Every structure is written in C-alpha cells, then in structure tokens.
Structure 1
Amino acid sequence: QPFTSLLLVQTLVLMSVSCPLQEQSDDSSEEEAAGDTEMDFLRNLFSSTLGLGSADKVLDELTLEGVARYIQSGKCKNIICMVGAGISTSAGIPDFRSPGTGLYANLQKYNLPYPEAIFQIDYFKKHPEPFFALAKELYPGQFKPTVCHYFMKLLKDKGLLRRCYSQNIDTLERVAGLEGDDLIEAHGTFYTSHCVSFCCRKEYNLDWMKVKIFSDDIPRCDKCSSLVKPGRWISVSFYFSIDFPRCDLLIVMGTSLQVQPFAGLVSRVSKSCPRLLINMEKAGQADPLFGLMGFGGGMDFDSDKAYRDVAHISTCDDGCLALADLLGWKAELEELVKQEHARIDSQDKKEKASESKGAAAKASSASAAPEPKKEE
C-alpha cells in the first residue's frame, strides 16, 4: 500500500511536469477555466485513488423518480442547470450534429475543423465568419422558448434555481424569464457585446450588433478596430467558485459535453452532488482509462461504482415534462408554456401591425409629396 501510494504520487508529479497546466491569459477567461479543469483532474485523481475523500450517496435510486424524491425532500435547495443546443431543437432551431440538417452541416462551407470550434475564442479571433453566419440564423425574435426553457423558469419561481449555464446564443432562456444573474451565457448573448481586445473591451448594444449582423459586416470596434463579440465580460472563474461547491443537484440537458472548459464543469460539484442528464444519448462519461486510474470527474451511469449519476434518455422537453409530472408540477408547467406562447404571439402580432402601419404611412407621405417644379 505505501509503495502504491508513493508510485501514484510520483505519477502525478511526472504528469504535472510533462503536461503543465495551461497558463492563465489576461485575454480569455475560457483559458483560465481550462487550466482550472486540468488542476481538478490532478486533484481528483490524487484524492480518489488514495482514498482521501468520501462521497455520500444522496439518491435512494438512480432514476428520474429518485431525483424527484430528492427534490421533494427539502434537502435540494440549489440546482444548477447546464444546457446546450438540444434544448432549443423543438423551437425549430437545428442542433449541431444531425446529418444534413444540423447547424454544422449548414456551416461546412467555412471548413470548421469540428462543430464546437465555432464557439471557441481562439478560433473566433482567427475566423469570425462562421460565428456571425450562425448568429444571423439565430437572431432573437424568430423563435419561442420550449418546455425545457420554461421548466428552468419554474425552478427559478420556486426558489430552486441557483443559476443556468448555457452554451446557446439564441437567448431563449431570457425570453422564458431568466435574466441577469440567473444566467451565465458561455458563448455570449446578443443583448450586450464587447470588443475582444483586453485593453479596450468597449461595450456595444443590441441595435448596433443587429445592424452589423444583418448587413453581413464582421463587427469591429469603433475605438480600436478589434473584433466585437456578443457577450458580457464576467469573471467566469468567480461564478464557478461560488456556484458549484454549493450545488445540491446538477441538471445537464441537450449537450454533448464536448466543448471545454464548459464540459469540465460537471466535475466542479462536490462528490456527493447528484447529476441528472436529460439528453438523446449518454454524454460526459469518464474515459475508461481515467476510471481505472481513479479519476471520478466524468459521468458514471453504468459501472458497479455508480452512485449519483442518472441518465434519462429522451428529448429535453419530454424529460422535463416527466420530471415535472413526478414533482406534481406538470399542469403548472403546461399552463405556463401556453400562457407565455400566447403572450409572445400577441406581442408579435402587435409589432407586425405597427410595422405595417408605419410602412403604409411612409408610402402615403412619399406619394403625397409635391413633384419638383420643372425649369422653363
């Protein structure tokens, strides 16, 4: 046993020397978070393998029913949601990977090395075109939130949602009623945009960005000519540090968990925190080699050691409805969706009527203008 422990310590030291942690960069909080994820790997590997940490089993059953009973127990007071493109597909927004119809297939002309590159800051700085082509397709106002979006709003209304971490730029979380500190939009939001230059970071509003996107211009800063990207500058690592250690339940929906550092967030919660995945396929599972080495950060749904991870394989809407039903919230959720969709439709109708009225008035004014006199 002492020999094994010493060997593991030596292995960890060699790993840290041969694969040094990523240096922090003033230019990108994503790089900082990626470095933290690597540190988590070493920390979890060390503690798990040497048995320096214990985890309490919280769920009485690794099923959706077990999760529902835990939420109802009163012990679950801080829920974090991590969401991706899969929560918006029922709104008519294609996901990334569906053959022929996915967003990735539609962006092939840009020769993306892999789908998630479109959201990575280093790739964006070199090749901003695919991001803004996608932004034009997903611009706010063209889609309505889904059942899944309103389920998160219900969690907020019941005082259970600590925060939602979203990979999406469609802003449907905001339309559904999440706002301000409810949200961390990992890849940006149209509501505020900023210059990507660390020395500038000038802020631009929604109207400015809309003009740029629909005129097919690549947005550049008026002050320093650097790229401008949707998103607010926040200390991402600060939110990580205050949210995940306090999380009682992590709900992951509609994401393949393949984009770092976002995917690494699943390992930021405590070892006893239950993690529920609602997705069309299992995702985020630990590499088998890491499992043999004792690294427990990834999801574990099927092994003999599984004790906290639950995979509910379905669409995000169906999964949320099933969980809401078990919690006794289904009728409330369906009524919320019905009322909010009716409100959005009514608002859209009024806006279109106003636009038509304005266009008609403009045309009438133009036709009534006197013709210029001809010179004799």
Structure 2
Amino acid sequence: MSEEAEDSDSDTENGATGGEPDMDFLRNFFTQTLSLGSQKERLLDELTLEGVVRYMQSERCRRVICLVGAGISTSAGIPDFRSPSTGLYDNLEKYHLPYPEAIFEISYFKKHPEPFFTLAKELYPRQFKPTICHYFIRLLKDKGLLLRCYTQNIDTLERIAGLEQEDLVEAHGTFYTSHCVRPSCRREYTLNWMKGKIFSEVTPKCEDCQSVVKPDIIFFGESLPARFFSCMQSDFPKVDLLIIMGTSLQVQPFASLISKAPLSTPRLLINKEKAGQLDPFLGMMMGVGGGMDFDSKKAYRDVAWLGDCEQGCLALAELLGWKKELEDLVQREHAIIDAQRGRDAQPQHFSIPQEVPATCQGGGQDDREGETPVTAAALRRDVQPLRDS
C-alpha cells in the first residue's frame, strides 16, 4: 500500500472527513481564542432575585433597560400570540388564512386586508388598563433608574402607564398613526380616522389614491423603525442591568438585544419559562452573540424568575421595598382611567403628538421610501390598539 493510501486511511479512521471532529476543532479554537469557555467572576453575590435586588440597591446600578413582550399585557385581557388554545395564533381559523402569521405579513395584507381589520376590531375594546408590570417600569422611571423600555407590544399600555416617548422604543411600531401603503402616496391618517373605519367595518382606503391604509405597526416583511437601531447603538454600551419580561425571545432582531449589553451587565428574566438560551459558539456563528446562561457551571450574571410576570414584578418590588408604592400607583392610576372614561363616552385626549428626529433623545421616524415610518405620539388615553409578542 502506498504512503498516500496509508495517510488517507489514517485520516478516515481519525474522523477527519466525518465532520464532527472538524466541528469540535472549530468549537475549541473559537472557545480558546474568544475566551467563550473561561470562567468569569460573578457579577451578583448570588444568582437569585435577592442577588439582583442587592445589585439594584448598590451604586453600580444606575441605568436599567427593560425588554418586554406580550406576557406583560396578558392580565390586561390582551391575548398573546403563542399560548396554547388562548394565544392569538390558535384562534385565527375563522379567517381561513393560508397560515396564521399571514395576517401580519405585508404582502398578504396588501392583497387581503380584511382579516387584519376584522381582528383589529376584536382586539380594540376600551377597557384595557396597564398592568402591574407596566407600572413597575413606571416606578423605575420615577426613581431615575430607567434608561429605556424596548417593547415588542403595540398596545401602547406603556404610554398609558406614564412612560413618555423618550422612554420608549416601540420596536414593532405604533397604532397611533397610519399611512397609505402606496409608495408614491404615503398619505398619513390619524388614530381617530382609523378607529372610525375599523368600527364601521369598512376597509380603510386612501382618500387620494384608494389604496389600503395601514396602521404604522411593523408587519412581517417590513423594516423596523430607525429609532430601534439608533437607540440600540447608544443605550446598550452603558446599561447596568437588563430586565427582560414576558417575551419568548424568538423574534429577531429584538431577541438579539440581550447580547448587546456588556459582559459586565447582569440580566434578569421574568417569564413563565426560560428563554434566550443559546450556545455561545452557535450564537457567534449566527451573528447574534451569546444567549442567556442560567444553569451551567459558568453562569455568572443571568437570573431567571419563572412564573406570572405580575407576580414576578410584585416579588421584585417587595424585595426592593417598593411593593406598597407600586400597589398604590396601580390603584391611583386605574381610578383616574375609570373616572375619565366615565365622564365621557369618548375618551379625552390629553396631549398633542410631537414628531421628532430618529434619535434616542426623542421619537423616531424612518423616512426611507416605501417603508412605514413610526411617528412619535404623546400619551393619549384613548389608545387601546393591538399588540405584538
């Protein structure tokens, strides 16, 4: 047998052509090169809710970013997307969609807008109120700790709870304004105009060109607002704590935000189940960074509190000494909402919307041609639209 043949047989026996050893080699190479496998010093004295609280009470925690999804609004009566039998996707059979997600796909919407607007009416009751979770974020703001709240929801409950435009990044858009979908037109319409169409069961059509008018929420197939990216670049390098609530962290690019914080930033997940876990090597290869690590021996900064989001916020508030303040805030704000809605059949408008540049100091507007801009709007008590998960 020739030396070449012997070498070939030897390589085959050692698995060089089998794929798995090659993958192990690459994994070890990147682990050693990038220190993905090195043990890091714990950032919290213990990886528990109590450890997070002691960190929050220290001088090291001055800037908190909240990342929130559908789970913080379910107790307000708004269904999430994925919960078995009660989630939105499990209740769309009557619309005869090719697949559930089609109702939020821009290409399907332009051809068949009727299912979306039928659904919009069902999810538009006026009794929705912010939850304990929303008011916990409000408390963070009142105490000077909130750097920003990034929300996937489009129910605007963060605004109703008292967050200002500058406090928010509405990653999946807003229901406050609407635009004609025709790129050469793009006429803007108000919330009241859209609400009138939805409740009269008339598909909204542009008064100039008769094309469909769509709320400025981000459908599948559309770009996220410019404000999402500009704030991400400026906020995450300086964040001291991430609090992630009510999201499965399955939708990109929102899910990738957990990897934008410095390695020296603790991360707390309040959710019904663990989310965001990703092998560091695979995360790097996919370009989304490392995921959450709750359970490994190398875990050093991530804490998961599993259960109902409202109960998680109450537990956190109690440990912080804020529980009574939080409960009083919820009771007071809900009473104000009830009183106002009782005074007038039509909810009263409290302020005038302001359009501001796409920076992190204010609202953002993406003016790229053919894409839906997201116009900043000041708090209005009649905003009770849809939400995303």
Q: TM-score range by the shorter chain?
A: 0.7 to 0.9
Q: Equivalences for 1:248-267 in 2 at 5 Å?
A: 248-267=240-259
- 8 Å Cα contact 1:83-1:167 kept in structure 2: yes
Cα 1:118–1:333 change in 2 (3 A) is farther
Read off the aligned partner of 2:33 and give its amino acid letter.
Answer: L
Cα distance in structure 2, aligned partners of 1:223 and 1:95: 36
Cα distance in structure 2, aligned partners of 1:117 and 1:74: 48
Of 213, 230, 240, which aligns to 2:216? Answer: 230
Q: SS at 2:175's partner residue? A: coil
Read off the aligned partner of 1:242 and give its amino acid letter.
Answer: S
Cα distance in structure 2, aligned partners of 1:158 and 1:284: 28
Q: SS at 2:192's partner residue? A: helix
User: Is the counterpart of residue 244 in structure 1 residue 230 in structure 2?
Assistant: no
Q: Equivalences for 1:157-176 in 2 at 5 Å?
A: 157-176=142-161
Q: Which has the higher relative contact order, 1 or 2, with Cα contacts under 8 A spaced 6 or more apart?
A: 2
User: Is the counterpart of residue 206 in structure 1 residue 191 in structure 2?
Assistant: yes
Cα distance in structure 2, aligned partners of 1:148 and 1:325: 13
Read off the aligned partner of 1:93 and give its amino acid letter.
Answer: I
Read off the aligned partner of 1:337 and give its amino acid letter.
Answer: V
Read off the aligned partner of 1:250 and give its amino acid letter.
Answer: L
Cα 1:218–1:86 change in 2 (3 A) is same
Q: Equivalences for 1:15-164 in 2 at 5 Å?
A: 50-51=33-34, 57-110=42-95, 118-119=103-104, 124=109, 128-139=113-124, 141-164=126-149
- 8 Å Cα contact 1:116-1:259 kept in structure 2: no
1:276 counterpart residue number:
268
1:368 counterpart residue number:
none
Cα distance in structure 1, aligned partners of 2:131 and 2:106: 28
The structural deviation recorded for 1:286 is 0.6
The structural deviation recorded for 1:207 is 0.8
Cα distance in structure 1, aligned partners of 2:172 and 2:271: 20
Cα 1:300–1:124 change in 2 (3 A) is farther
Q: Equivalences for 1:293-372 in 2 at 5 Å?
A: 297-352=290-345
Cα 1:324–1:227 change in 2 (3 A) is same
User: Is the counterpart of residue 286 in structure 1 residue 269 in structure 2?
Assistant: no
Cα 1:292–1:79 change in 2 (3 A) is closer
- 8 Å Cα contact 1:219-1:229 kept in structure 2: no
Cα 1:328–1:210 change in 2 (3 A) is same
The structural deviation recorded for 1:320 is 0.4
- 8 Å Cα contact 1:162-1:182 kept in structure 2: yes
2:8 counterpart residue number:
none
Is there any run of 5+ residues in structure 1 with no aligned partner, and where? 1-6, 13-44, 356-376
Identity of aligned residues (%): 65
The structural deviation recorded for 1:70 is 0.9
Cα 1:52–1:335 change in 2 (3 A) is same
The structural deviation recorded for 1:247 is 1.6
Cα distance in structure 2, aligned partners of 1:173 and 1:354: 17
Kindly tell me the number of residue pairs found equivalent between the two proteins.
316
Aligned-pair Cα RMSD in Å: 3.4
Cα distance in structure 2, aligned partners of 1:70 and 1:114: 45
The structural deviation recorded for 1:134 is 3.6
- 8 Å Cα contact 1:119-1:187 kept in structure 2: no
Cα distance in structure 2, aligned partners of 1:269 and 1:113: 38
Q: SS at 1:191's partner residue? A: strand
Looking at secondary structure, tell me which structure has more helix per residue. 1
- 8 Å Cα contact 1:87-1:148 kept in structure 2: yes
Cα distance in structure 2, aligned partners of 1:258 and 1:160: 27
Instruction: Select between 206-215 and 99-108 the one with higher mean Cα deviation.
Output: 99-108
Read off the aligned partner of 2:192 and give its amino acid letter.
Answer: D
The structural deviation recorded for 1:124 is 4.9
Cα 1:127–1:187 change in 2 (3 A) is farther
Cα distance in structure 1, aligned partners of 2:111 and 2:305: 38
Cα 1:307–1:70 change in 2 (3 A) is same
Cα distance in structure 1, aligned partners of 2:346 and 2:184: 44
Q: SS at 1:162's partner residue? A: strand
Q: SS at 1:304's partner residue? A: coil
